[in-house]
Amino acid sequence: MTSIGLPHFLIVGAALFALGMVTVVTRRNAVGILMGVELILNAANVNFIAFNHYVAAPGSLTGQVFSIFVIVLAAAEAAIGLAIVLAIYQTFKTIDVQETDLLKE
């Protein structure tokens, strides 16, 4: 009989959450903070699936459904986050291009 139970998973979730918070508050880099957000979301997902396994009524899949939605929305959020980073990158580049144009004239 295995000795692993619900608290083991919850502790992993708590550790993920705490480390995610640390990443969020100590990082300066925007992409680094987004990584911390992903850790927090994973922490919540571990909780959801652990509770679904141990606490929910037999046959109920609410926690797993929730986790799937979280994964989907996390992907959408990451896509928008990257698009904004890309926009910033392109803004930089356009500024450079304009400068070189000015110099040519």
Asked whether position 100 contacts other proteins by CB under 8 A, the answer is no
Sign of the torsion formed by the C-alpha atoms of 95, 96, 100 and 103: positive
Contacts of residue 12, defined as CB under 8 A and 6 or more positions apart, other chains included, come to 46
Asked whether position 72 contacts other proteins by CB under 8 A, the answer is yes
Give min distance, CB of 102 to other proteins, in A. Answer: 17
Asked whether position 83 contacts other proteins by CB under 8 A, the answer is yes
Residues in region 43-62 near other proteins by CB under 8 A: 43-62
Size of the site for other proteins (CB under 8 A): 94
- Burial label for 27, CB within 10 Å (0-12, 13-18, 19+), is middle
Q: Which is nearer to other proteins, 62 or 105 (CB)?
A: 62
Asked whether position 97 contacts other proteins by CB under 8 A, the answer is no
Asked whether position 79 contacts other proteins by CB under 8 A, the answer is yes
Q: Is 56 helix (H, G, I), strand (E, B) or coil?
A: coil
Asked whether position 99 contacts other proteins by CB under 8 A, the answer is no
Asked whether position 18 contacts other proteins by CB under 8 A, the answer is yes
